[in-house]
């Protein structure tokens, strides 16, 4: 999500920190800052905006230093602002912290620390780390920062990569890592840290990849690592052979495939803080009271493009679980049809950027009619985030590819968590049933990874269908809803004409388009609808089309009816959209790759549509 850099050595640190931060700009960010030790004093310079703005500030107050850390922030807790920008300091101002990830128990830690006299200056979860370190230094670590970091990490729940500079250690950087990446670059008489190798490659190709629970102290001469209990550990040195461009993409050829492979972690990030450490549903501080939720009589979901197709899944979900009438509308049509707003309604807007013009217009129209608006957005501080009544953000991290993939999946996560929470509050689902489904949802990242590990079949399919000019996606129920997104991705990136239909509509027109060698991608994972979908498959095969069937792992009777079979892991019917979308994404990528398309920036399209 964010970017961490650090340097210790004989050279001037600030130009190196700024250069390394620039090399992480592709990750997306809203603010930036550095913390250095100037003549033994901890100095922090940070600002909202671009790295150029930070560089301009530093030029006004030149710092001749040889040690420091830097950070680019993608807001998760607290809007983009200078106080919320990293680095963060504690009460004394004698140490500074930069952090990537999410601290799930920061609210409890903050209350405890405030009770001990700590004064907070930001809305972030990160600031608790600085105060917690100060507390551990005074109580338990006897002034030893290395030990304080080990003790503090044991109190933190969530994901974190942390780097620290402190006046008490003018010749050392300290780091700790859990679930968020952190790399140490090894130089000659100097060393580097970064979130990924992109920032390090111009300086060294010898790196140490930290693992979960690793705590490190870094000097000019070397690196010492231990676990959280202080036991020494060893990590092998890796020699990087990528070029800088490849490093930005994590070694992948395109951002799209990198972001598809980031989906498991994106799901985990979006679940954090909403599911407790025992795997139980824990949606808190939502901004909707239980009475508001019980009173709901209608839900409107409004979005565009991929976000709209995520909303189609949400419509199925809310109506099935809550039994509340739910409309899902394309934002560009919503306000122009003069919608009828009913009392006790909730409008949910969905947008990756939070700046989509048509969706913003729908938000404002609803608020003019007194309807409360809940925003599911990926950019904290965006217009939708600021203007909505309630926020339930995705934590997918920045998306560089124009076509959304991990944003779509995390939008689903948010809707599922809302549906489960609303259902429990309204008494339409027991806490036990919600926790059962959440337990299955926690397994989804690993199941997605299983699908990603079987990527070769999609390359084979791509080679087989390179000459196809039309593609059809069919499904029923939630399978039909996901088919819409599959078809959108294929047409966006490969430029192959693609259509999605509810399979029951075949006889109402689309069957006329089925002929020899036309590829038809049929998703058939909904158990109660499987027999009907199989009947539709037979209709398509009777017209000699090529059928690719996406089915559950346990399905053993489909092979004789189709040309290709893709099997995916088992889960509850209602959770299948998380798994059924991954094969269309992979097929799209590899077909587009085979066709030589400009995958990350498809023609005529933009990442954020900010005009109507």
pLDDT in tens, 291-302: 999 999 999 999
41-48: strand order across its sheet: 41-48, 31-38, 67-73, 3-8, 191-194, 183-186, 206-209, 238-239
2 part of the active site: yes
- Residue 201 shares a structural domain with residue 151: yes
- Residue 414 shares a structural domain with residue 461: no
- Residue 77 shares a structural domain with residue 213: yes
**571 touches 440 (CB < 8 A):** yes
2, 328, 401, 414: the active-site residue = 2
Last residue of a domain, one of 225, 248, 271: 248
- Residue 139 shares a structural domain with residue 236: yes
- Residue 184 shares a structural domain with residue 59: yes
Report the pLDDT value the prediction gives residue 610, as an integer from 0 to 100. 45
Q: What are phi and psi of 279, to 5 degrees?
A: 75, 25
Report the pLDDT value the prediction gives residue 221, as an integer from 0 to 100. 95
50, 532, 541, 607: the active-site residue = 607
**405 touches 397 (CB < 8 A):** no
pTM of the model: 0.79
| Structural domain for 419, as ranges | 258-451
- Residue 427 shares a structural domain with residue 466: no
Q: How many CA atoms lie within 13 A of 399 on its CB side?
A: 31
- Residue 330 shares a structural domain with residue 378: yes
Characterize the bridge pairing of strands 206-209 and 214-218: unpaired
DSSP annotation of 560: G
Residue 533 CA to residue 539 CA, distance in Å, equals 10
Residue at 599 is within a domain = no
CA dihedral 536, 539, 545, 547 (to 10 degrees): 30
Last residue of a domain, one of 195, 216, 248: 248
**210 touches 100 (CB < 8 A):** no
Bridge partners, residue 71, by sequence? 4, 33
Q: DSSP 3-state assignment of 102?
A: strand
**Which domain CATH number covers 127?**
3.60.20.10
- Residue 279 shares a structural domain with residue 405: yes
Tens-place pLDDT, residues 317-334: 999 999 999 999 999 999
Residue at 219 is within a domain = yes
Residue at 9 is within a domain = yes
Start-end of H helices in 336-430: 357-368, 383-387, 406-425
Q: DSSP 3-state assignment of 474?
A: strand
- Residue 494 shares a structural domain with residue 587: yes
Residue at 603 is within a domain = no
DSSP 122-185: SS-STHHHHHHHHHHHHTTSTT-HHHHHHHHHHH--EEEEEEEEETT-TT-EEEEEEBS--EEE
Report the pLDDT value the prediction gives residue 246, as an integer from 0 to 100. 62
Domain count along the chain: 3
**208 touches 183 (CB < 8 A):** yes
Start-end of H helices in 161-262: 244-248, 255-261
Residue at 183 is within a domain = yes
- Residue 420 shares a structural domain with residue 283: yes
Tens-place pLDDT, residues 41-56: 999 999 999 999 999 9
Residue at 253 is within a domain = no
Count other C-beta atoms under 10 Å from residue 509's C-beta.
9
Buried b (16+ CB within 10 A) or exposed e, 524-541: bbbeebbeebbebbeebb
Report the pLDDT value the prediction gives residue 141, as an integer from 0 to 100. 83
- Residue 114 shares a structural domain with residue 226: yes
Average pLDDT per consecutive 10 residues, the chain (612 residues; last block may be shorter): 90 96 81 94 94 93 93 86 95 95 91 96 95 93 92 92 95 93 94 88 91 94 95 90 68 92 94 89 88 96 96 97 95 89 95 88 93 92 87 88 94 98 96 95 97 96 93 96 96 95 88 85 95 92 90 94 96 98 98 95 71 48
- Residue 490 shares a structural domain with residue 409: no
**Which domain CATH number covers 526?**
3.40.50.10490
Residue 219 CA to residue 174 CA, distance in Å, equals 9
Residue at 607 is within a domain = no
Residue at 501 is within a domain = yes
């Amino acid at each position: 999500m964010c970017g961490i850099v650090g340097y210790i050595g004989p050279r001037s640190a600030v130009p190196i920190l700024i250069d390394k931060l620039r090399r992480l700009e592709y990750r997306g960010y809203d603010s930036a800052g550095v913390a250095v030790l100037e003549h033994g004093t901890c100095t922090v310079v940070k600002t909202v905006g671009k790295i150029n703005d930070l560089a301009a500030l530093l030029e006004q107050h030149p710092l001749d230093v040889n040690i420091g850390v830097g950070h680019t922030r993608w807001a998760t807790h607290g809007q983009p602002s200078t106080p919320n920008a990293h680095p963060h300091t504690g009460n004394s101002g004698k140490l500074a912290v930069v952090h990537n990830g999410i601290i799930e128990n920061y609210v409890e830690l903050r209350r405890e620390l405030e009770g001990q006299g700590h004064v907070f200056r930001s809305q972030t979860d990160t600031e608790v780390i600085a105060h917690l370190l100060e507390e551990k230094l005074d109580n338990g670590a006897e002034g030893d920062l290395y030990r304080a970091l080990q003790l503090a990490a044991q109190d933190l729940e969530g994901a974190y990569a942390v780097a620290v500079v402190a006046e008490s250690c003018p010749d050392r950087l300290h780091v700790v890592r859990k679930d968020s990446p952190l790399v140490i670059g090894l130089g000659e008489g100097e060393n580097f840290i970064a979130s990924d190798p992109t920032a390090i490659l111009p300086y060294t190709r010898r790196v140490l990849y930290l693992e979960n629970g690793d705590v490190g102290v870094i000097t000019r001469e070397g690196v010492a690592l231990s676990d959280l209990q202080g036991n020494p550990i060893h990590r092998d040195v890796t020699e990087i052979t990528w070029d800088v461009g490849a490093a930005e993409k994590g070694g992948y050829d395109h951002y799209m495939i990198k972001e598809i492979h980031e989906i498991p972690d994106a799901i985990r990030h979006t679940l954090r803080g909403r599911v407790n450490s025992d795997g139980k549903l824990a949606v808190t501080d939502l901004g909707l009271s239980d009475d508001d939720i019980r009173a709901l009589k209608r839900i409107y979901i409004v979005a565009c493009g991929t976000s709209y197709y995520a909303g189609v899944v949400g419509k199925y979900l809310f109506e099935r679980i809550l039994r509340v009438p739910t409309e899902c509308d394309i934002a560009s049509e919503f306000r122009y049809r003069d919608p009828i707003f009913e009392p006790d309604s909730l409008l949910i807007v969905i947008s990756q950027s939070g700046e989509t013009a048509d969706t913003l217009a729908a938000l404002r129209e609803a608020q003019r009619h007194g309807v409360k608006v809940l925003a599911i957005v990926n950019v904290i501080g965006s217009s939708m985030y600021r203007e909505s009544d309630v926020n339930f953000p995705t934590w997918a991290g920045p998306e560089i590819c124009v076509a959304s993939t991990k944003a779509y999946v995390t939008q689903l996560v948010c809707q599922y968590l809302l549906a489960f929470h609303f259902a429990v509050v309204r008494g339409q689902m027991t806490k036990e049933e919600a926790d059962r489904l959440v337990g299955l949802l926690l397994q989804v990242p690993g199941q997605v990874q299983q699908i990603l590990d079987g990527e070769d079949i999609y390359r084979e399919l791509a080679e087989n269908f390179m000459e196809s000019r039309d593609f059809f996606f069919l499904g029923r129920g939630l399978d039909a809803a996901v088919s819409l997104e599959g078809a959108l991705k294929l047409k966006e990136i490969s430029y192959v004409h693609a259509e999605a239909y509810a399979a029951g509509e075949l006889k109402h027109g689309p069957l006329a388009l089925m002929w020899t060698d036309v590829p038809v991608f049929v998703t058939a994972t909904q158990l109660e609808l499987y027999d009907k979908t199989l009947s539709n498959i037979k209709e398509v095969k009777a017209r000699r089309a090529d059928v690719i069937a996406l089915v559950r792992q346990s399905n053993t009777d489909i092979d004789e009816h189709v040309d290709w079979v893709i099997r995916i892991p088992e889960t509850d019917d209602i959770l299948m959209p998380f798994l059924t979308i991954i094969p269309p994404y992979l097929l799209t990528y590899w077909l587009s790759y085979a066709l030589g398309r400009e995958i990350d920036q498809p023609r005529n399209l933009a990442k954020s549509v900010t005009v109507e």
